[in-house]
Amino acid sequence: MDLVLATGNRDKQREMKVFLRDLALTIRTLDEFPAAPAVIEDGETCRSNAVKKAREIARFTGMLTLADDTGLEVDALGGRPGVYAARYAGPHATYEDNCRKLLDELTGVPVDQRGARFLTVVAIADSDAAVEFVEGTLQGRIADHGSGLHGFGYDPVFVVPELGKTLAELTLDQKNQISHRGQALAKAKVVLKRKLRRNIGA
């Protein structure tokens, strides 16, 4: 059974592949479908973006498709950057650009007011574009400087209080055990296993 990952972000692809490696699925990426449409993420929520990506790529490929969207809500910024996290510093912003803008905006904000949370929505669409979605969240706070060499995105500045470390200071396996995306993918695996059982019994 094939599963298409509806993301061109190779960092996300790597995390997803590791998490789903024990399933009886052939994982495929958008690199294998150069004519696939570039899905415009114009939704107001992570859910709407994830569902849109999953549905459009499933319709194009005719295959089971998994898509995700992640937002970062920072208390001191009134919930920003939210759904715009990946392009917070501009449409072509790098991870470093986004982190720098976030830290600049939080200059002078005390530790106890730097609370934040990640939200990931994973959507799974069948070839007929019927969609199921699951969510994962991670509470934490924004550091006053980046730390750690692993991960991507805002990982170097997102502190997990229980561990006293940023996500970028964790290994991929450690991160997948606790992260917002890891939680959502764990729930997505339940959905995928159910689909696999149905496929085998068909």
* Residues marked as catalytic: 69
Interatomic CA distance for residues 202 and 192, integer angstroms: 15
* DSSP symbols for 18-56: HHHTTSS-EEEEGGG-TTS-------SSHHHHHHHHHHH
8 A C-beta contact, residue 129 and residue 174: no
DSSP structural state of residue 81: E
Per DSSP (E only), the strands in the chain are: 2-5, 26-29, 64-74, 81-82, 115-125, 131-142, 158-160, 165-166
